[in-house]
Amino acid sequence: MIQYVIRRILYAIPVLLVVAFITLWLFDIAAGDPAAIKLGKNPSPEAVAALHEKLGFDDPFLVKYGKFLWSTVTLDYGVSFTDDTPVRTIFARGIGPTLSLTIPAFLLGTLVSVVLALLVAFYRGSLLDKTMTVVAIAAISISSLVYILVFQYVLADQWKLFPIWGYEYGFGALTFVALPVLIWILLSIGTDMRYYRTVALEEISRDYVRTARSKGVSERKVLFSHVLRNCLIPIVTRMAIIVPFLITGSFLLEIFFGIPGLGNTLYTAIGNSDLPVIKAFTMLGTVLYVIFDILADVSYAVLDPRVRLQ
């Protein structure tokens, strides 16, 4: 397994190099002169020249590419164009609020979706199955903005069950993230439940399920022991795909609820054309995707002894 992990890491290096090249190339061409962003209108030629020298804007592209790769290794992407705050400080400041929202929302959403999917798959064709399928399709069809605005108005503004805006560090964060977590779960259940239902239906139709039933194994054990265990690989695969996007997945929720997380940070950076922050987000997403892709492959061998890492 160690050899496999090392080999996968070596395979991932060209991917990261290509993504870094394309990212830097696009920003270098499309973003324009950073002096116009940082210095405002009508800067003096001396100020422009000094900023170009400081940022290495006039360096050859390969030199800038090397510096960008080194920034990815050291996680030092310089300072923000907006207020000269180090990008690492900005990330450190926003990661806590984002994780306090995304981790419980992701775990609870996955748990609820898997349990519901197993139940509706087990009772395929029943009223429960048909009702949940209709509800899931309806939930997917409604815009996420509708959920946010309606729940804010009803549960936060009218019923005063949750705060409508803001964030508090520490245990007080639970009060502020409770409603966004609830909305996240409702948004994810429709898509996730339908996917997991398809996976569960495929497993329920296999011979080992009929054999277990013929031996008198209880339906609960068949469902949550045999079927669920064999559904873990596609479940882990889906989770591995989703996890890297959790950082920006709370984009709308953080904006509408005033949570100072990374999604809100990215929104502000895009509005201010804060290129160092945007480039850092791009590379961070790529690195996380590669890492969790490797972890997912390794977990296959742990979950299923039949899987061999080649």
- For the cut 60, the answer to whether the pLDDT of residue 187 exceeds it is yes
170 within domain boundaries? yes
Whether residue 206 lies inside any domain: the answer is: yes
Sign of the CA dihedral with 165 first, then 166, 172, and 174 last: positive
Q: Is residue 292 part of a domain?
A: no
- Give domain status of residue 280, yes or no: no
**CA angle 156-181-245, nearest 5°?**
135
Neighbours of 94 (CB within 10 A): 21
| Cα dihedral value 97, 239, 2, 307, nearest 10 | 170
3-state secondary structure of 310: coil
32: in domain = no
Decide if pLDDT at 53 tops 80.
no
Q: What's the pLDDT band for 179 if we cut at 50, 70, 90?
A: very high
Percentage of residues in the chain having pLDDT higher than 90: 27
**227 lies in some domain:** yes
The CA distances from residue 196 to 140, 291, 295, in Å, are 15, 24, 20
Full domain range(s) for residue 226: 91-262
> Per-residue pLDDT tens for 55-103?
777 788 888 899 889 988 888 888 888 888 999 999 999 999 999 999 9
Position 235 in a domain: yes
Q: Is the pLDDT of residue 127 over 80?
A: yes
Q: What tokens does 176 get?
A: 């502020």
* Cα 242 to Cα 248: distance, rounded to the nearest angstrom: 11
Q: What percent of the chain has pLDDT over 70?
A: 93
Query: So what's the pLDDT on residue 308?
Result: 61
pTM of the model: 0.85
Kindly report the backbone phi and psi dihedral angles of residue 79, in degrees, each rounded to the nearest multiple of 5, phi listed first: -120, 160
Query: What's the number of domains the chain is made of?
Result: 1
Split at pLDDT 50, 70, 90, the class of 33 is low
pLDDT of residue 75: 85
- The secondary structure element, H or E, covering residue 215 is none
CA–CA gap between residue 144 and residue 213 (Å, rounded): 42
Question: 232-290: per-residue pLDDT in tens?
Answer: 888 888 888 887 777 666 788 999 999 999 989 988 888 888 888 988 988 888 888 88
Task: Give 160-167's long-range contacts (Cβ < 8 A, gap of 24+).
Answer: 164/257, 165/257, 165/258, 166/257, 166/258, 167/97, 167/257, 167/258, 167/259, 167/260
CB 35 within 8 A of CB 298: no
Is 154 contained in some domain?
yes
- To the nearest 10°, report the CA torsion of 29, 32, 38, 39: 140
Query: In this structure, what CATH number is given to the domain that contains residue 135?
Result: 1.10.3720.10
pLDDT over 80 at 134, yes or no: yes
